[in-house]
Structure 1
Amino acid sequence: MKVKICGITDLQSALAAVQLGADAIGFVFAESKRKIDMKAAKEIAEKLPESVMKVGVFVNETKKRIEQIASFTGLSHIQLHGEETPEFCRSIGYPVIKAISVQTENELSNLQDYPSEFILLDRRKGKYNGGNGTSFKWQEIKTEELDGKKIILAGGLDSDNVLEAIKLIKPYMVDVSSGVETDGKKDVKKIEKFIEHAKGKITRGILK
């Protein structure tokens, strides 16, 4: 199971997450309490292994601005967390992760219209588009409607519920932000515990 640690704002947390086994690091460039500026993100991204996905999170941003930030920072993937259309996703010159806010009895069949290889399932929007620390009813998601897509599961995940979520959805990757924080800051011990649960022996058995 792959793991993305999102909302990274400092080098120490990023390096610790990667050392503990994180496969992707997320930088939020949209309005958020975890928003990071280009220079800080670049300084962190430059020190991460090439194999680690460097994901920039944007909400209803212009194509020009997205690609400007991506080029300067050294992003490998773009996460679109707003109301971006399939056509807009197709226009971006980077691999796109399209985030979808999930509701009860959510219909996912229209997501096949998106060219994105990755679809991120998150909780219905709160104050910010993502990173709100609330989950949704995973058992109601019909993953067969996302056949051919790599599912990234987000929304209220933490070390206590990630195994249940993986068992129900069997995603390509799990994405956590507030679930590995203490008092609004990334907590290395929580990151370690989350990654241990997400990548542990029980998880490998579930995914066989």
Structure 2
Amino acid sequence: MKKDDRIPKIKLCGLSRPEDIEAANKCMPDYIGFVFWEKSKRKVDKEKARALKQKLDPGIKAVGVFVDECVDVIADLLNEAIIDIAQLHGSEDESYIAELKTKTDKPVIQAFQIKDRSDIIAAMGSSADMLLLDSGQGCGSSFDWELLKEADREFFLAGGLNLSNIEGALDAITPFAVDVSSGIETDGVKDSQKMQEFVNIVRNMK
């Protein structure tokens, strides 16, 4: 059995097409992610996200991914239930999170780029509801997972996860959730077979 016999939750991020939602509804991750960052090739806007959310199984939570977005824009998406959770991936600080919390009661995930132990310490002090520990903004590469053994809060593990390394990652650590994007793509678009296989690997870990 894994260290605490707990199966991590699963987030499939960067969904942007109706067929991505259809595939997610079949494999039923705990979360999916809509990316609202202008520079992402997976970017969706408000109306596209609304249409996709309407097709999403209600048992799956939709996370909106943002980079230094206006607080009001995020609060609007949350309060209209286009997304259920906000994920902050930029330089957002404690005052930003506090302001967002005055405009919505929905959960907030703060992402941290982990390079060394000091980044772990900074992450643990965040007032966000949840943490995501990553190697960068969708860079598709992993980092030294040994650093995460010092984490004393639950976190989403992201950064370079794919079908070939997810078992090794979960043998090394037991995150609250795992987050994958490029690792379930083929030629830059979501691959329904890889999505299902990733979910199966995580849920069948012993």
TM, length-normalised to structure 2: 0.88
Which of 111, 116, 122 pairs up with 2:123? 111
Between the aligned partners of 2:33 and 2:185, the Cα distance in structure 1 is 14
Provide the residue aligned with 2:149 in structure 1.
142
**Gap runs ≥5 in structure 2:** 1-7
Cα root mean square deviation, aligned: 1.6
Provide the residue aligned with 1:191 in structure 2.
195
Provide the residue aligned with 1:178 in structure 2.
182
Provide the residue aligned with 1:56 in structure 2.
64
How many angstroms does 1:15 deviate by?
2.3
Provide the residue aligned with 1:87 in structure 2.
95
Residue type of the partner of 1:178?
S
Between the aligned partners of 1:105 and 1:150, the Cα distance in structure 2 is 16
Provide the residue aligned with 1:100 in structure 2.
112
Q: Is the 8 A contact 1:162 1:198 kept in 2?
A: yes
SS in 2 for 1:91: helix
SS in 1 for 2:175: coil
**Gap runs ≥5 in structure 1:** none
C-alpha offsets along residues 125-183 of structure 1, whole Å, 9 cap, x if unaligned? 3xxxx22211111123233xx32x32100000001111111222200110000000001
How many angstroms does 1:88 deviate by?
1.5
- Aligned pairs, number: 194
Between the aligned partners of 1:11 and 1:166, the Cα distance in structure 2 is 30
Residue 26 of structure 1 pairs with residue 30 of structure 2: no
TM, length-normalised to structure 1: 0.87
Between the aligned partners of 1:171 and 1:116, the Cα distance in structure 2 is 17
Which residues of 2 match residues 158-173 of structure 1 at below 5 A?
158-173=162-177
Q: Is the 8 A contact 1:2 1:23 kept in 2?
A: yes
SS in 1 for 2:73: helix
Percent of counterpart pairs with the same letter?
36
Residue type of the partner of 2:172?
L
Q: Is the 8 A contact 2:185 2:194 kept in 1?
A: yes
Q: Is the 8 A contact 2:113 2:119 kept in 1?
A: no
Q: Is the 8 A contact 1:7 1:177 kept in 2?
A: yes
Q: Is the 8 A contact 2:112 2:119 kept in 1?
A: no
SS in 1 for 2:55: coil
Between the aligned partners of 1:9 and 1:73, the Cα distance in structure 2 is 17
